[in-house]
Amino acid sequence: MKYIDEYRSSDTVGQYLSLIDRISTRPWTIMEVCGGQTHAIVKYQLQKLLPDHIRLVHGPGCPVCVTSLELIDRAISIASLPQVIFCSFGDMLRVPGSQTDLLRVKAQGADVRILYSPMEALKIAKENPGREVVFLGVGFETTAPAIAMTIDLAKREKIGNISVLISHFLVPPAMEAVMSSPRCVVQGFLAAGHVCTIMGYDEYLPICKQYQVPIVVTGFEPLDIVEGLYLCVKQLEEGRVEVENQYARSVKKEGNTQALRMMRSVFEIVDRKWRGIGVISHSGLGLKEEYREFDAESRFQVEHVTTKESAECISAEIMQGFKKPCDCPMFGRQCTPERPLGAPMVSTEGACSAYYLYEGARS
């Protein structure tokens, strides 16, 4: 299949693997930022094909995983209200809150619907003027433009019965949080290709410079990943520190300017709590004053709950690259995708879940 098979060719992947083998002279630790990349690395077991001294650690780039427990509890409370039609992307529904999850409240009678695009929520709101439609707006910079467009349209068309529960994250501040840890082990980054498709990659230049860390904007297919790794290892070996773009077929330096304009007109940058890591300043998006009437949190006044994460979960260590899923004594035993103890086991793109899925609990 065009645009897929070219990037899953064993010959070309093999050529890059040999190049990495040839040019690498010492150990390097590289973090792939995005959960989609982690998923591909573990699915194709790429780590096993790399030289032993090239170590991959898995970053915090799974939006489902890093959404705070408090937000999920709030989503569940709102979804349980009888007047609400609660809409979400599919993979948020299984994420456990403190006591239940959205699939279970659906089974108890809540009107919870899986949508492929937030624009569908607008249609549902128009068709159901007597109900309140709430969209769970979770994601990184990738999903933000579509949600911004939905809210902007709702405002312009004066559709009053729609609101969004926003938990949007920004990737660069999380990379800075990883680099600024005194225990940081990361020497190079594969940056998230889809995030850069929207944002471009200018904002990575200061991180690259300040922390003296090579950053390669990388795609999600096996060939993308090995090429990204090759470019990163080459920089490290040559002592260069640059932002490079492996994913040029999708990413432009300036990003998608139209999408950015829409995002910036609706959202402002706020502090955001990352599950498993904590609050990172300026790492999220919230609605601007003029769009705040569409904020589900203020519209429904749900009681603020404080939640506690499992003390045994080592997700912060995993998402910052200090440990691997199989280093956790709970992995595959007390902690499984069915009963996750923490963030990276929650969605298939979380590192622990990907290991569990493709390597089995026996790993």
Partner 1 sequence: MSDQGEFSVTCPILHQQEEKILMSHGSGGKHTSDLIEKVFLPAFGTSSETLHDGAFLHIDQSDLVFTTDSYVVQPLFFPGGSIGDLAVFGTVNDLAMCGARPLYLSCGFILEEGFDIDRLRQVVARMKDAAALAQVKLVTGDTKVIERARGDGMYINTSGVGVVERAGINPQSIQSDDLILLSGDIGRHGIAVMSEREGLTFETSIESDVGELYSSVRALFDEGIDVHCMRDLTRGGLATALVELSAARGLAMEIDESAVPVDAVVRGACEFLGLDPFYVACEGRMIAFVSSNDGEQALSVLEGLGSNPRIIGHVSGQSGPMVSSKTFLGTRRILDRLVGDQLPRIC
Query: Coil, helix or strand for 134?
Result: strand
Contact indicator for 175, 189 with CB cutoff of 8 Å? yes
CB of 293 or CB of 309, closer to partner 1: 309
CB of 222 or CB of 344, closer to partner 1: 222
Among 28, 89, 204, 230, binds partner 1 (CB under 8 A): 89
Among 24, 37, 38, 142, binds partner 1 (CB under 8 A): 142
Residue type, 273: K
CB of 60 or CB of 214, closer to partner 1: 60
Please count the residues of this chain forming the interface with partner 1, following the rule CB under 8 A.
59
Q: Does 63 bind partner 1 (CB under 8 A)?
A: yes
What part of residues 229-248 is at the interface with partner 1 (CB under 8 A)?
A: none
Half-sphere exposure at residue 328, Cβ-oriented, CA atoms within 13 angstroms? 31
Write the binding mask 315 to 344 for partner 1: x where contact by CB under 8 A, - elsewhere: ---------------x---xxxxxx-x---
Among 118, 172, 200, 222, binds partner 1 (CB under 8 A): 222
Scanning 134-242, the segments in alpha helix (DSSP H) are 144-156, 171-180, 193-199, 205-211, 222-238
Among 348, 350, 351, 352, binds partner 1 (CB under 8 A): 348
**Which span (75-83, 149-157, 235-243, 305-313) binds partner 1, by CB under 8 A?**
305-313
Query: Coil, helix or strand for 29?
Result: strand
**Where does residue 22 rank: exposed (0-12), middle (13-18), buried (19+ CB within 10 A)?**
exposed
Among 18, 45, 212, 298, binds partner 1 (CB under 8 A): 45
Residue 254: Cβ within 10 Å count: 11
Residue type, 193: G
CB of 180 or CB of 310, closer to partner 1: 310
What part of residues 171-210 is at the interface with partner 1 (CB under 8 A)?
A: 194
**To which H or E segment does residue 269 belong?**
strand 267-274
68 contacts: CB under 8 Å, gap ≥ 6: 167, 273, 274, 275, 307
Q: Does 51 bind partner 1 (CB under 8 A)?
A: no
- For the CA atoms of 120, 125, 126, 128, what is the dihedral angle to 10 degrees? 120
Q: Does 358 bind partner 1 (CB under 8 A)?
A: yes
Residue 70: Cβ within 10 Å count: 17
Q: Which residues bind partner 1 (CB under 8 A)?
A: 1, 4, 8-10, 13-14, 36, 42-46, 48-49, 63-64, 89-94, 96, 98-100, 103-104, 106-108, 114, 116, 138-140, 142-143, 194, 222, 310-312, 330, 334-339, 341, 347-349, 357-360
